[in-house]
DNA sequence: AGTTCAAAAATTATCTATAATTTCACACGA
DNA sequence: TCGTGTGAAATTATAGATAATTTTTGAACT
């Protein structure tokens, strides 16, 4: 693991990001710098820097003098992230397509299979993210890719909030259609499918803290 | 000015961002925390937080233990930003269009006129940014808008690097075409024009530090 | 019971000090 | 001349201490 090379602030921000995404920390809850510092056995200076990174990723909200809290989200933000992903992933795919090799498409197919076999959301999400990253990375546009990464983090958060425990296996036809179009060199068809794919918003009833049930929404692609 | 309400870190990051964008600090040059701290009469703790913000905006690059330097850029990044802006501004405009009022379009027209009258790049850039912000803000998608803001900052930087001094007045036909389409309720036509508009990359010979001339590129829209 | 206010506690933001690492200059040897 | 190593200086990263602000608590009052 490369975390030894990272600065403490980076290590903390990664760990906190993971907890926020997985839902281990509730949306809206406060992040107290001294508590975090104590947990990680550091002073609060690197903790504050970690907070700034989380803020930039949209995972936390900071108000001056009033601390940092985990960002909360609603259906509107799910839609927003879905549309941004559609726009940017389509752009990335158009640029990546000319550089895609048979070997990359092979790995992407394996990722799809791994997703189909996943018994829990977490491993499904990982396989899904791998698929998207594989076919988009060759675009060689670092700023675009890092923006997409942040959007994937947000997506994962929505997903885990809705499908924390129950998860039923389903085969991803979209991924297969995208791969097939790419193999045939039909970039536009692949891009169109991808654009639709990441805008598909799933819906699921979940129990709230107060015991009632409401609908949760998430991007399932 | 609301800067009194901001935290020191925010004040510093805004000021440094301004200098980086305007070209007052050279791309690639180091930002030394103690020097900045001394200049702003603070300790380096808020300075480090400011650095994290600049990093997130893509204006600075930080390497662990090796400090922070102003991000450098090349034609590839100009193109990347232009394409991202095209994708995201078109998305924003589609959502904003239904909420645009005659009053907003009127202000946007004034901004266009102000741009046409500008004698220097800086005021042209400000007018241009105002135009884009006016017609996009009503989309009510905060994450999207803040990503677009960061891209505009990058665009401005490219622009100032190329047109630092000489700037010739030119009337912006694209802006007028966009406004006219919006007034007629023809959102798709407006979006298409906007998408082309922000991808128009201008070219200009500039003198390098070594006295030679090379071509500089920038987004002019 | 509900409000209001003030003091106490907790928390954020910043400063000063220290440890760890990197950069730089300069000498030395191939 | 060029590379290479070594020590000093500069710089980054973190810790510990302090000031300023916000939140909480609880008592007095309506």
Contact assessment for residue B191 and residue B90, using Cβ atoms and an 8 Å cutoff? yes
- State the nucleotide closest to B31 in CA–C1' terms: D11
Q: How far is A176 from chain B (nearest CA, A)?
A: 25
Residue in B80, B90, B140 closest to A144 by CB: B80
| pLDDT over 70 at B2, yes or no | no
The 10s digit of each residue's pLDDT in A173-194 is 999 999 999 999 999 999 999 9
Contact assessment for residue A65 and residue B7, using Cβ atoms and an 8 Å cutoff? yes
> What CATH number does domain A2-70 carry, 1.10.10.10, 3.40.50.1370, 3.30.1490.20, 3.30.450.20?
1.10.10.10
The 10s digit of each residue's pLDDT in A19-37 is 999 999 999 999 999 999 9
Distance from the Cα of residue A170 to its chain's centroid: 19
What are residue A197's phi and psi, to 5 degrees? -55, -50
Q: What is the mean pLDDT of residues B9-29?
A: 97
Q: Do A56 and B58 touch (CB under 8 A)?
A: no
Residues of chain A with CATH 1.20.120.530: 75-219
Q: Residue count of chain A, please give it.
A: 221
B55 is near strand D: CB distance < 7 Å: no
> What CATH number does domain A75-219 carry, 1.10.150.530, 3.30.70.1520, 3.40.50.2000, 1.20.120.530?
1.20.120.530
The 10s digit of each residue's pLDDT in B93-142 is 999 999 999 999 999 999 999 999 999 999 999 999 999 999 999 999 99
Q: How far is B9 from chain A (nearest CA, A)?
A: 10
Residues of chain B with CATH 1.10.10.10: 2-70
Give the tokens for residue B22.
């305007």
Give, for all 221 residues of chain A, the pLDDT tens digit: 334 568 999 999 999 999 999 999 999 999 999 999 999 999 999 999 999 999 999 999 999 999 999 999 999 999 999 999 999 999 999 999 999 999 999 999 999 999 999 999 999 999 999 999 999 999 999 999 999 999 999 999 999 999 987 888 889 999 999 999 999 999 999 999 999 999 999 998 887 766 788 899 999 99
Chain B contacts to A (CB-CB under 8 A): 5-7, 9-10, 45, 48-49, 52-53, 55-56, 58, 64-65, 76-77, 80-81, 83-84, 87-88, 90-91, 95, 140-144, 147
d(CA A210, CA A212): 6
Closest CA to A13 of A84, A81, A68, A73: A68
d(CA A23, CA A204): 16
- Specify which residues B206 forms β-bridges with: B214
Q: Report the half-sphere exposure of A123 (CA within 13 A, side-chain side).
A: 12
Q: Do B143 and A5 touch (CB under 8 A)?
A: no
Q: What is the mean pLDDT of residues B144-167?
A: 95
d(CA B116, CA B185): 25
Residue for token pair 């050279």: B26
A41 is near strand D: CB distance < 7 Å: yes
Residues of A in contact with B65 (CB under 8 A): 7
Contact assessment for residue B93 and residue B74, using Cβ atoms and an 8 Å cutoff? no
The 10s digit of each residue's pLDDT in B171-184 is 999 999 999 999 99
| DSSP structural state of residue A190 | H
A32 is near strand C: CB distance < 7 Å: yes
CB contacts < 8 A, A to B, total 73
B62 is near strand D: CB distance < 7 Å: yes
What is the model's pLDDT at position B1? 39
What is the model's pLDDT at position B3? 43
The 10s digit of each residue's pLDDT in B60-101 is 999 999 999 999 999 999 999 999 999 999 999 999 999 999
- B 37-96 residues, CB < 7 A, strand C: 41-46, 49, 65-67
């Amino acid at each position: 693991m490369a975390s030894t090379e990272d600065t403490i602030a980076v290590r903390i921000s990664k760990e906190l990001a993971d907890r926020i995404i997985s839902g281990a920390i509730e949306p809206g809850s406060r992040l107290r710098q001294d508590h975090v510092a104590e947990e990680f056995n550091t002073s609060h200076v690197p903790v504050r820097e970690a907070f700034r990174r989380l803020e930039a990723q949209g995972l936390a909200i900071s108000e001056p003098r009033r601390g940092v809290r985990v960002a909360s989200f609603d259906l509107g933000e799910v839609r927003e992230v879905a549309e941004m992903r559609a726009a940017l992933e389509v752009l990335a795919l158009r640029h990546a397509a000319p550089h895609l090799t048979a070997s990359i498409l092979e790995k992407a197919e394996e990722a799809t299979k791994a997703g189909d076999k996943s018994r829990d959301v977490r491993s499904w999400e990982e396989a899904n993210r791998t698929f998207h990253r594989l076919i988009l990375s060759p675009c060689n546009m670092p700023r675009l890719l890092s923006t997409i990464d942040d959007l994937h983090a947000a997506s994962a958060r929505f997903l885990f909030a809705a499908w924390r425990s129950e998860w039923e296996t389903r085969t991803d036809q979209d991924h297969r259609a995208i791969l097939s179009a790419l193999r045939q060199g039909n970039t536009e068809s692949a891009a169109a499918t991808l654009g639709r794919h990441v805008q598909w918003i799933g819906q699921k009833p979940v129990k709230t803290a107060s015991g009632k049930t409401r609908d949760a929404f998430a991007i399932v692609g």
